[in-house]
Structure 1
């Protein structure tokens, strides 16, 4: 499945901000938000992972496993806080941070790079959390490498469905009781208990990528408790998984084209100065590696799928483009994949300093589990080989037209939820022009969350303000001082301009 995330000093990560009319039904079987029990105060102590920044303290908060049926017991949400550094009289309470994913651990991300939020940290206590099922919050796992590989087309739909169902059984065996309750609606309700436990009247929030989906759901469930909210890397509220995957393929191709245009103006670009032929040559490299893989580290084959993952990863941040150019040159000239391998995230290692109780595959297991919990279109009830065959046969050409490189891989992600329980349609029903005012940031060259989705969400909200960042990469806060100026100004002083504001690339 598509992973969207913000990158700081460590790899960390969409999908949108919004609010629902008070009369709209909440997720689940009820007709409104489930009453939220009063949360206890948090008792802060030492953090279980090392090292952590000076002053950072950690805690856990017990929350209902199932908010609609509290009698089922509780689960734990892990929290971390860095107290505000400014004078006490200027403090504004807590600012909740979500780095995206779904599946990115907030605590490890804040520990890796708190400096990015130093200005906000003068007036806010910076609070990060690992959502249920992630990191230190009763992490889910599928026991290792996923059995159903979404990166290659199935030759036999029945065999592919069997592999998907086998993966689900693995996840159930290794994840425990939290797996059926891992969706975004449950996490949003957890957040309101966190808000209460922190002693804040309203939730002030900065969310990136998937964190914008979480912000949307929170604002929908608890509009009266929604404070200042900034959402960066905004995804669609309404499009089904197929449309999301198509848009992602187009966004990745657009980002690759931007990279190749940049490369053409650099000395020694392996593809020369013609961007059209450069695109053809990258496509040919991927096809060649699919047919004749190179020998990678430890003798493992390095395939076209590996190359696509490496290229896509480097497109998330423009600072990675020189490394991508060098890696492609090494692969083309020397038949050496080492540079591209270096762009890949290690597939089965936990973040440095993470306690050993966090499974190595937790991020990937949580990514799929949350996205499927939020997808109402595909489930075990709708799964049969004919459905899979229709998906592949009916959509193949569309995805190839979107991107010869990224399209086929994105197409396979639409199968991921077959074999799992039916997901919620709550996010798609978020549509409320009277939502609390909030700031949305869209990046023109974003490979994961296309700028069009920022505009679409703003139209649905009616009261959202857009910052239009003309740069490249996924999200704008970490790469643009201009974007940070608008976001920090709103969060600290409540300044929110009308209409759309532009931030030039590189500023």
Structure 2
């Protein structure tokens, strides 16, 4: 039954639950808005299909404790008492059809607490090509959002070629540096042409390196890899959380194996049906919104960037473009900023102060902290495996001429990120074209779609696209919005986590259009 009009429902939680429904220290009441959205999920739970419980693995992997090495590798704090990070591997076929023989070690990591029930069904996490899934899980597990692990373990799967899943090293150092800098140093000619040339050189190097499997790194193959984990557990269905680009992997999984999906959560999803230009603009818009949120928070904390943090960042970007922050380029400065604002770490106020101090030091002549931040961000966001995966997933990359037009058009609405994002979109223009990521044709499972107000890595343009796909597939869905800024609402909001757990345990969706406060 569809509800008409707009209904605002306010729940006042008891004090013991208030902290669990907000991000960080917020104890504001949760606000849910149920809208009459065309194509939205039925508002009445009775209209949703009956959903069986998620099964616990009947055959588990061989796990080894990797808590200390993971925290050291990602420079993370120790996390809550009793936190255990365990690493494992699954032998995954390069090509499930058998046309290309061989397997590779698919890396997985399980996060749990000492009192996590041993018989609880795990939630499988993939962030796709955005970052290593294990990094995202470790960041969440060591911060204030780790309480979700008390109910059930979360198992992250690194996409092939990324993180610990046999990471790829195929781009020559000079080309890698040139792409990171968008050709600012050591190249002549138009910026979009420079980047397209660098991308072509990287494409030749990587396709030669990967032969004959160079076309085996798309979202559909990542979905095949996740199914190897399901098979290793010997269960009929799994709960799957796809964040950002990982939502595309999750949709590809649901398209190929709808009966194997017991729960499906699409968090901050990338645009499901758009071309590379649409995805690029979504990222630029989300990054600008994240900078605005950072500036407000920075001002409230009386941070070191002064009274107008955004203006300070824009001035630094202009100085970097003029070569005044060398060896930090304008593009690598933005990568550092996106990485800092998009980190899975949950310590918001500490991160704001850290970021402010790094850029304030660069403003005052000390670029060493910024060089270190650039290195950290590139390690998280710009590996060779991510280049291969993103190029494999993309459709209809803009030509240099089109990118130059976009750079001019986007520079006004997106003053920091617009031009650079447009130019960067040419880097995959030489990559061999693959079929679009598969989408489910029929799905009778209720699906939870979550998003944030200011995602610096993905943006939020994917929600409408993804819910359109779900509607066409006949799947009931509900959209849940987090009003905070950052990559992934699930990784940063206790309120969102509470709704996710209700969905995982009971199979019921929250009212469509619900809001979680920042």
Shorter chain as normaliser: what TM range?
0.7 to 0.9
Q: Which runs of 5+ in 1 are unaligned?
A: 1-39, 296-300, 352-361, 379-386
Answering whether residue 426 of structure 2 is matched by residue 415 of structure 1, we say yes
Summarize the alignment of residues 197-276 of structure 1 with structure 2, pairs less than 5 Å apart: 197-267=232-302, 270-272=305-307
Answering whether residue 517 of structure 2 is matched by residue 485 of structure 1, we say no
SS in 1 for 2:366: coil
Give me the whole-angstrom Cα distance separating, in 1, the residues matched to 2:85 and 2:304: 44
Summarize the alignment of residues 294-313 of structure 1 with structure 2, pairs less than 5 Å apart: 294=325, 301-313=327-339
CA deviation after TM superposition for structure 1 residue 196, in Å = 1.9
- Aligned residue number for residue 132 of structure 2: 104
The 1:259/1:363 distance shift into structure 2, 3 A limit, reads: closer
CA deviation after TM superposition for structure 1 residue 195, in Å = 0.8
Summarize the alignment of residues 124-163 of structure 1 with structure 2, pairs less than 5 Å apart: 124-143=152-171, 145=173, 147=175, 148-149=178-179, 151-152=181-182, 155=189, 160-163=195-198
Answer yes or no: is the 8 Å Cα contact 1:97–1:129 preserved in 2: yes
* Partner of residue 451 from structure 2, selected from 442, 451, 459: 442
Answering whether residue 466 of structure 2 is matched by residue 457 of structure 1, we say yes
* Partner of residue 513 from structure 2, selected from 493, 500, 505: 500
Answer yes or no: is the 8 Å Cα contact 1:208–1:232 preserved in 2: yes
Answer yes or no: is the 8 Å Cα contact 1:139–1:175 preserved in 2: no
Give me the whole-angstrom Cα distance separating, in 2, the residues matched to 1:494 and 1:226: 12
Answer yes or no: is the 8 Å Cα contact 2:83–2:113 preserved in 1: no
The 1:218/1:255 distance shift into structure 2, 3 A limit, reads: same
Summarize the alignment of residues 345-356 of structure 1 with structure 2, pairs less than 5 Å apart: 345-346=375-376
Answering whether residue 314 of structure 2 is matched by residue 314 of structure 1, we say no
CA deviation after TM superposition for structure 1 residue 484, in Å = 1.3
Summarize the alignment of residues 394-409 of structure 1 with structure 2, pairs less than 5 Å apart: 394-409=405-420
The 1:152/1:111 distance shift into structure 2, 3 A limit, reads: closer
CA deviation after TM superposition for structure 1 residue 104, in Å = 0.8
Give me the whole-angstrom Cα distance separating, in 2, the residues matched to 1:54 and 1:135: 21
SS in 2 for 1:78: strand
- Aligned residue number for residue 468 of structure 1: 481
Answer yes or no: is the 8 Å Cα contact 2:140–2:491 preserved in 1: no
Give me the whole-angstrom Cα distance separating, in 2, the residues matched to 1:93 and 1:467: 23
Aligned-pair Cα RMSD in Å: 3.5
The 1:347/1:395 distance shift into structure 2, 3 A limit, reads: closer
TM-score (norm 2): 0.73
CA deviation after TM superposition for structure 1 residue 485, in Å = 0.9
Answering whether residue 365 of structure 2 is matched by residue 335 of structure 1, we say yes
The 1:119/1:201 distance shift into structure 2, 3 A limit, reads: farther
CA deviation after TM superposition for structure 1 residue 138, in Å = 2.8
CA deviation after TM superposition for structure 1 residue 115, in Å = 5.4
- Aligned residue number for residue 3 of structure 1: none
CA deviation after TM superposition for structure 1 residue 136, in Å = 3.3
CA deviation after TM superposition for structure 1 residue 177, in Å = 4.8
- Aligned residue number for residue 75 of structure 1: 104
- Aligned residue number for residue 403 of structure 2: 392
- Aligned residue number for residue 366 of structure 1: 385
Q: Deviations over 1:95-137 (max 9, x none)?
A: 212244345152x655666456765545545333222222333
Give me the whole-angstrom Cα distance separating, in 2, the residues matched to 1:293 and 1:327: 16
Give me the whole-angstrom Cα distance separating, in 2, the residues matched to 1:171 and 1:255: 33
- Aligned residue number for residue 164 of structure 1: 199
How many pairs does the alignment contain? 435
CA deviation after TM superposition for structure 1 residue 310, in Å = 2.5
Give me the whole-angstrom Cα distance separating, in 2, the residues matched to 1:475 and 1:267: 26
Answer yes or no: is the 8 Å Cα contact 1:91–1:122 preserved in 2: no
